[in-house]
Amino acid sequence: MIRSMTGYATLSEETALGTLTMELRSVNHRYLDVQFRMSDDLRILEPSLREIANAQLTRGKAECRISLGRTLQSTLPDRLKTDLLARLADLDAQVRQHFPQAPGLSVADVLRWPGMVEAAELSMDVMREACEALMRRVLAEFTASREREGAKLRDLLLDRLTQMETLVTQVRPRVPQLVAQYQERLTLKLREAVASLDEDRLRQEVTLFASKVDVDEELGRLTTHLAETRRILKQDGTAGKRLDFLMQELNREANTLGSKSVDTEVSRTSMELKVLIEQMREQVQNIE
């Protein structure tokens, strides 16, 4: 299944240190460009997370936001610094010897004392494991969203493709008749303009010019390119660059068809083909 380069996924997971949230979004881009937005204490994990992302993604400008919401339980200190606590108690006792009426230190005073509590440290091993596991889960959700979007793009492209195939099928049987009619009209005009012109030379010139306005080859190449586009759309994996190239080839043949046309019907077909090709090209830009 083809994938869109546009996708979004977000997941959260509870850890010992709080709620870990990861958000991944992307838009179309010529190459793969993954940017991480995270706090400095998690930045050390970026290389391993980038490696996981690069193994799953091939194209697109992606942004991954990672945040760790500390809960009350996770922010409680592991323990008090007992040596500092004993020193503070000794100092309090000494002060009260000189000022017996002075109020003693409250629990809040002790806890607010600089350096009294040892905050919970962020374990990189624990966070690495949690972040990598969450990254894989987010990527799975993210890929699923891109595949759903890709399925919609594929249906749209196949619809335009069917319209183009119908146009080519309708106009192709008319080409030999149109060339013959044009050749006949041109012969009559030349005979009227140059009555003394040699008949063989006249036939040669008319045949040569008529061959230049024959669009059968262009219609044949259009048919081939349309068939290849349909084949790629039915395959799995990345297809954006190949489809983009085919859109260029289709547009080239449609332009040539219009420039060589000597019939309003062929000219109209050329214009409709170019409109459909442009619609397809806009959508192809979003395919991975």
- Any idea what the CATH number is for the domain that residue 52 is in? 3.30.230.10
Does residue 172 sit in the same domain as residue 61?
no
Is residue 101 within 8 Å of residue 73, measured between CB atoms? no
**2, part of any domain:** no
Whether the predicted pLDDT of 156 surpasses 60: yes
More confident site: 69 or 146: 146
Q: Quote the CA–CA distance of 230 and 104 in Å, as a whole number.
A: 84
Does residue 59 sit in the same domain as residue 91?
no
**202, part of any domain:** yes
What's the pLDDT score for residue 225? 94
What's the pLDDT score for residue 72? 47
Task: Return the CATH number at 175.
Answer: 1.20.140
Whether the predicted pLDDT of 137 surpasses 90: yes
Does residue 22 sit in the same domain as residue 83?
no
Does residue 135 sit in the same domain as residue 182?
no
Does residue 217 sit in the same domain as residue 236?
yes
**11, part of any domain:** yes
Q: Mean pLDDT for the chain?
A: 83
Q: What pLDDT band is residue 42 in, cutting at 50, 70 and 90?
A: confident
Q: Using a pLDDT cut of 70, give the percent of the chain over it.
A: 81
Does residue 107 sit in the same domain as residue 215?
no
Does residue 93 sit in the same domain as residue 169?
no
Strand partners, 27: 61
Expressed as residue numbers, the domain containing 171 is: 148-284
What's the pLDDT score for residue 85? 82
Does residue 269 sit in the same domain as residue 209?
yes
**212, part of any domain:** yes
Segment 60-87 mean pLDDT: 75
Cα separation values, 196 from 90, 150, 247, Å: 130, 66, 49
Is residue 263 within 8 Å of residue 183, measured between CB atoms? no
Does residue 114 sit in the same domain as residue 216?
no
Total count of domains within the chain: 3
Q: What pLDDT band is residue 88 in, cutting at 50, 70 and 90?
A: confident
Cα separation values, 50 from 42, 55, 73, 95, 129, Å: 13, 9, 30, 57, 14
One-letter amino acid at 139 equals L
What's the pLDDT score for residue 242? 92
What's the pLDDT score for residue 98? 82
**1, part of any domain:** no
**17, part of any domain:** yes
Q: Using a pLDDT cut of 90, give the percent of the chain over it.
A: 41
CA-based torsion, 243, 245, 246, 250: positive or negative: positive
Does residue 174 sit in the same domain as residue 258?
yes
pTM tops 0.75: no
- CB count, 10 Å around CB of 73? 10
Q: Quote the CA–CA distance of 26 and 46 in Å, as a whole number.
A: 18
**48, part of any domain:** yes
Does residue 278 sit in the same domain as residue 193?
yes
What's the pLDDT score for residue 245? 94
How does pLDDT run across 89-111, given as a tens digit for each residue? 888 888 888 888 878 778 888 77
Does residue 169 sit in the same domain as residue 268?
yes
Cα separation values, 149 from 171, 239, 259, 269, Å: 34, 14, 37, 30
More confident site: 172 or 32: 32
Whether the predicted pLDDT of 224 surpasses 60: yes
**182, part of any domain:** yes
